[in-house]
A and B are shown apart, each in its own frame.
Chain A
Amino acid sequence: MLTKRIIPCLDIKDGRTVKGVNFVNIRDAGDPVELGSLYARQGADELVFLDISATNEERKTFASLVKDIARHINIPFTVGGGISSVADVAPLLEAGADKVSINSAAVRNPQLIDDLSRAFGAQCIVLAIDARKIDNQWTVHTHGGKIATDKKLLSWAKEGQERGAGEILFTSMDHDGTKEGFAIDPLSKLNAMLDIPVIASGGAGLKEHFIDAFVLGKADAALAASIFHFGQVKIPELKTYLKERNIAMRA
């Protein structure tokens, strides 16, 4: 049976993990390879490495980092941040990344999804969508959530699927950082509408929240960052907990 996926997300700046905190079993939580390896050993199903570097200069270190990650980590991983062309993606996949996520550049130029999907296959194109509820409408935002667009979550996700995205990563900005649970209502609507997998993101605080994302939200995967980084929820315990509640999990 296909299992639901638990995905820790690591933010990278200038080759280092941001928000890296106290880990007992790790020498350097700021080292993306070490932190990623730890999560892989703990049973993470995939990893996401998001380059939040502001400048192109900082970004140059990312491709070599991706290669280092691929060398040491034996589970699939997605990389994203600042990708805006076929030329940006090729070196990342060649370095050993399994998927790339695109966000602002796809909103600006939706044809990018078609181009990437044709060049590399739908399975490695993740369309990341950041949205927040404005006047009762889930409105797509870009540039790390700073800029509101005229796109709406559901129609943009559908368009992304039609243009060849292989997966949708939906982050509710209203829930991100609150630790009060995922945005279940839009999640369940997305999953009812789409034929491609959906990753839930934003709001994870407790183990129970993952049950809601999978059972009520029908998400295929759930992504979280700080609760894993700060150890509030530990991956082995989370997976045991979900398995005991009949959610299909890789042990």
Chain B
Amino acid sequence: MKLVIIKYNAGNIQSVSFALERLGVDFAITDSPEEIAKADKVIFPGVGEASTTMAYLRNKGLDRVITSLKQPVLGICLGMQLMCTFSEENSTDCLGIFQETVKRFLPQGDMKVPHMGWNNLTLSNGWLDNAIESQYAYFVHSYYVPVNPHTSAITEYIKPFSAAMHKDNFYAVQFHPEKSAQAGELVLKSFLAL
């Protein structure tokens, strides 16, 4: 199996690489459209701000590469948000794979923004390992994707939101599997086993 991580200005590429190394998986990090298109599986990481990241992807032509992929693609954190149609973060048009708007959390009482730390998940449809429901995943984000028909796991913070999604060959998680200890390894293994 040929696995690639899309190389762009995402902040967590190193951490995702190390997580895959810990699982003993071979992979390449590349921004070559040909190499990405030829891969069996693609990871689309993401830490950063939506508008500058989308501008970077468009500038490199990676936006069209990502939307045209037919093999399993895993979006992580900002990667998942950019797979939606629009983000309230600096009013950014995104990739439009999931027909959803990414919204900003509004702080409420003791619940602060960013949503930062370990939270649990309730699975709603299929690709994640059930064992993850008894564990916690690490989140850091100020924007969220509302619960929608493509939601595969729900987490509650201020309101229920999409912790994971799936549509066709596109898979996505809001949390950071690369930093989520055993729970994160389960997620990466589920994706690698698809």
A: which residues have CB within 8 A of B? Answer: 1-5, 40, 45, 67, 70-72, 74-76, 93-96, 98, 120-124, 166-167, 191, 194-197, 218, 220-221, 250-251
Contact = CB atoms under 8 A, between A and B. Distances in A.
B84 interface: no
A197 B112 contact: yes
Contacts of B93: none
A74 B14 CA distance: 12
A7 B85 CA distance: 37
Interface of B: 11, 14-15, 18-19, 21-22, 47-49, 107, 110-120, 136, 138-142, 156-157, 176, 178-182, 184-185
Contact of B22 (A74, A93, A195, A196): A74
B136 A250 contact: yes
Contact of A167 (B11, B14, B47, B116): B116
A96 B118 contact: no
Contact of A195 (B11, B18, B112): B112
A121 B181 contact: no
Contact of A123 (B120, B142, B181, B185): B142
Contact of A3 (B119, B142, B156, B181): B119
A71 B15 CA distance: 7
Contacts of A121: 11, 47-49
A45 B112 contact: no
A76 B139 CA distance: 10
B112 A221 contact: no
A74 B180 contact: yes
Q: Is the interface of B mostly helix, strand, loop or mixed?
A: mixed
Given A195-B112, A218-B110, A95 B179 contact: no
B15 A70 contact: yes
A198 to B, nearest CB: 8
B15 A1 contact: no
Contacts of B113: 195-196
A94 B179 contact: no
Contacts of B119: 1-3
A220 B112 contact: yes
Contact of A76 (B112, B141, B179): B179
Given A5-B117, A74-B22, A196-B113, 7 more contacts: A1-B119, A45-B117, A71-B18, A71-B21, A123-B116, A123-B142, A197-B116
Contacts of B116: 123, 166-167, 197, 220
A221 B138 CA distance: 14
A197 B114 CA distance: 8
Contact of B141 (A40, A70, A123): A123
Contacts of B184: 74
A72 B22 CA distance: 8
A196 B15 contact: no
A196 B181 contact: no
Q: Which of A2, A67, A76, A93 has the most CB of B within 10 A?
A: A2
A2 B138 CA distance: 10
Given A74-B185, A123-B141, A250-B136, A194 B48 contact: no
Given A1-B156, A71-B21, A122 B114 contact: yes
